[in-house]
Amino acid sequence: MDQSNKRQLAKVFKLNNNEWEEHGTGVFKQFINGNCVHIEITSEGKSIIKVIMGEGDAFEKQNDRVVQIQGKSFENEYALSFIDKTLCSTLCNALLQVKARKVSDSDIEKLECNETNIFQLRDLAYKAMSTRNPSELLSKINPKEIAQGLVQISKTINESTSKEFMTCVFIFVKALLFISDNQLIEELYKLSVLKSLFVILSYDPLFLSDSRPNFLEEFYSYINNMKEVIEQTETLTQLIEYSFALVYFRDVVIARFSDETVCAPITLRIDILNKKILIETINNRSIEKLLELYDSSLSQTKRGICITVKKMCNHLLLFTLPLREEYAKSMIDQGLIKIIKKGLLDDNKSFCLEALNSLFQCSTSIGLLLIKDEILQLIAKTILISSTSFYYGAFQILIDILDVTDGNVTFEREMINTMIPSVIDILIQPLNDTSPIQLTNYNSYISHISSLIYHLSCSTAISVKPYIIQSGIFNKILQKLPTLTHSSQASVLQSLRNIIRLNNQDYTTQLLDAGMIEIVKEMIPSMSGMALPIACEIIDSFKNRMSILPLSSSSVPTPEVTNGVQDLAQLSLPSPLKRPVDIENTMKIMEIDSPSKRRVMTPIFSQ
């Protein structure tokens, strides 16, 4: 192809499902015939596109080399991309000559977000949501105008507003929430716009008129009930209100129809605000002020202080590890642990326990500070006087601490030295027959402490095994086992089975000496639920063996033991290396070493 023909080339794109698809490349030709422009692009004698355009048809010149065309005589919308920009100008001039309409961005009809256009905006928003193409809506109205319009609409609607109009507005807003556009999301989740959405979304057509909630009034009632325990800066007050508005919007207002695509950007904003709130709170030295107020406050105020502390500790986990540790130390320096200790002894222990859980997750350095301040002992003492709901969280913290393996030797040493004997000694007190301690739920308590002892047994610290053996904890647990409910029996048996699976000879010996096999066998006839298969598994693991360690499970049935050779064969010992066998010498050695063959070695044939 010579140079002149190359300059005549144009590439054709066809619009298909809102996506431009390449349709071919060929030589461009055009001519005017009367009131029409004939356009044809061919390649190797075949027509790629052949259309006629005239008055009423439209074109848009996107740049010097690309023009978009749409006409009544052809179904699809095309874009032509020219090598020679002169051809693009020639075509545009020809189209203007036959009175085709030139379209530009400024010619697109713009809409305002008002009562007149709300039905059209609803349809556009629904289309943008369903096609996942925000431009279906945002090409007609920008996000800021949408937000401003919603604020105005929320001021005019009331009970007398027509149901048709309110349903339309509700659907429009609901569709907006599902449109993924950063600018739109930014505008919708401003505090002033959120309050407007509280009003609009109260008119959900599914709500009966006599039981319709008023989300805005409810929001303000919550805010007003958030009495300031201490004086806050104006910045902190605004941040807290904004954060709560987002939480209330996500968890109450739209909870009935939202999904992760809607909630994710809201949660992201909440996290950003909560980080700002924590930094402002630390700079305001709020912990010190809360500590000063605690002892002289009423129960409700103490509860508010503990909730505040819990939230602050939770917010620590939003930061990266170095910042998390830095801010946690600042809070501890201001008296955080003192407040938590006070709260654990009040009716607010669950909030303080959650705060401790977050602090232990900050780093082992923070955990070490808590351990040295005897927090673990206080948790153990609190367990003894708490309800069943407290058991799970408290024991889980102790278990999680035992399972920490980040290489901080100092933390591990201090943790073990605190767990034994101090913490475990406190926790096994109720297992003594003479103990005056009255637990709120004995069954649940035994289940949890059994699990804790299993995790403690997994520790390789040299002081753990002697303590467990000397404390007699296995015997105490086994003596209580028959008195428990079936579900608690299953939980305890599972912990005992896990201890057996550690294949620790000392632990297994003590369990057997404590009568585990006999106790479990006696219980089996009355067992049900998950306890029964676990009990059977424990019994089966000690069948047909000489070692105190349980047999490893196998799909091959265990042969009945008939002599010492078969018994040894059941042990999972490695196979010996195979060597050439000297039959004659082997027989001689066997006869010498065998205790059943103490006779003179005389060849049979010589007798």
Q: What is the CATH number of the domain that holds 36?
A: 2.30.29.30
Give residue 297's identity as a one-letter amino acid code: S
The pLDDT confidence band at residue 398, using thresholds 50, 70 and 90, is very high
- Does residue 521 sit within a domain? yes
- Of the listed ranges 70-79, 336-345, 356-365, the least confidently predicted one is 70-79
The pLDDT confidence band at residue 229, using thresholds 50, 70 and 90, is low
550 three-state secondary structure: coil
Residues shown for the chain: 607
pLDDT above 60 for 576: no
Q: Which residues, at least 6 apart from 243, have a Cβ–Cβ distance to it below 8 Å? A: 270, 273, 274, 277
pLDDT, average across residues 566-591: 41
- Does residue 306 sit within a domain? no
- Of the listed ranges 111-115, 357-361, 465-469, 596-600, the least confidently predicted one is 596-600
Q: Are residues 52 and 126 in the same domain?
A: no
Q: Are residues 445 and 529 in the same domain?
A: yes
**pLDDT value for 554:** 38
**What is the per-residue pLDDT across 347-357, written as a single tens digit (0 to 9) for each?**
889 999 999 99
**pLDDT value for 561:** 35
Q: Are residues 56 and 194 in the same domain?
A: no
Alpha-carbon span 269 to 280, nearest angstrom:
17
Beta bridge partners of 20: 15
**pLDDT value for 206:** 83
Single out the residue in 49, 83, 107 at which a domain terminates. 107
pLDDT, average across residues 273-297: 93
CA angle (474, 478, 479) in 5-degree steps: 120
DSSP assignment string, 258-298: --HHHHHHHHHHHHHHHHHHHHHHHHTTHHHHHHHHHTTS-
Sign of CA dihedral 427, 430, 432, 436: positive
The pLDDT confidence band at residue 565, using thresholds 50, 70 and 90, is very low
Alpha-carbon span 104 to 385, nearest angstrom:
76
Q: Which residues, at least 6 apart from 199, have a Cβ–Cβ distance to it below 8 Å? A: 154, 157, 215, 216
**What is the per-residue pLDDT across 583-597, written as a single tens digit (0 to 9) for each?**
444 444 344 443 333
Q: How many structural domains is the chain composed of?
A: 3
- Does residue 239 sit within a domain? yes
**What is the per-residue pLDDT across 29-67, written as a single tens digit (0 to 9) for each?**
999 998 999 999 998 888 999 999 998 888 888 888 999
The angle, 0 to 180 degrees and rounded to 10, between the axes of the packed helices 234-248 and 260-283 is 160
The pLDDT confidence band at residue 603, using thresholds 50, 70 and 90, is very low
- Does residue 303 sit within a domain? no
Single out the residue in 81, 107, 133 at which a domain terminates. 107
Alpha-carbon span 582 to 586, nearest angstrom:
6
**What is the CATH number for 479?**
1.25.10.10
Q: Are residues 18 and 82 in the same domain?
A: yes
Q: Are residues 429 and 404 in the same domain?
A: yes
State the chain's mean pLDDT as an integer: 85
pLDDT above 80 for 98: yes
**What is the per-residue pLDDT across 65-85, written as a single tens digit (0 to 9) for each?**
999 998 888 888 899 999 888
CA 183 and chain centroid, separation: 26
Q: Are residues 494 and 424 in the same domain?
A: yes
pLDDT above 60 for 105: no
Q: Are residues 130 and 235 in the same domain?
A: yes
Residue (of 564, 479, 462) closest to 523 by Cα position: 479
**pLDDT value for 228:** 65
Percent of the chain with pLDDT over 90: 62
Q: Are residues 464 and 411 in the same domain?
A: yes
Single out the residue in 107, 129, 149 at which a domain terminates. 107
pLDDT above 80 for 277: yes
Alpha-carbon span 163 to 188, nearest angstrom:
24
Task: Write out the two tokens for 582.
Answer: 């000297």
Q: Are residues 132 and 97 in the same domain?
A: no
**pLDDT value for 435:** 84
Structural domain boundaries enclosing 17: 3-107
pLDDT, average across residues 479-496: 95
Alpha-carbon span 570 to 560, nearest angstrom:
10
556 three-state secondary structure: coil
pLDDT, average across residues 299-307: 90
Residue with tokens 């030797």: 409
**pLDDT value for 2:** 57
Sheet holding 58-61, edge to edge: 46-53, 36-43, 19-33, 9-16, 78-82, 66-70, 58-61, 101-102
Q: Are residues 133 and 101 in the same domain?
A: no
- Does residue 345 sit within a domain? no
pLDDT, average across residues 159-168: 88
At residue 59, φ and ψ (nearest 5 deg) are: -145, 155
Q: Are residues 90 and 163 in the same domain?
A: no
pLDDT above 80 for 3: no
**pLDDT value for 606:** 34
pLDDT, average across residues 479-497: 95
- Of the listed ranges 82-96, 116-130, 551-565, the least confidently predicted one is 551-565
Alpha-carbon span 544 to 542, nearest angstrom:
7
**pLDDT value for 574:** 39
**pLDDT value for 600:** 38
**What is the per-residue pLDDT across 518-546, written as a single tens digit (0 to 9) for each?**
999 999 999 988 999 999 999 988 875 54
- Does residue 360 sit within a domain? no
Residue (of 5, 1, 3, 42) closest to 25 by Cα position: 42
Q: Are residues 187 and 123 in the same domain?
A: yes
Q: What is the pTM of this model?
A: 0.70
- Does residue 591 sit within a domain? no
- Does residue 388 sit within a domain? yes
C-beta of residue 499 within 8 angstroms of C-beta of residue 538: no
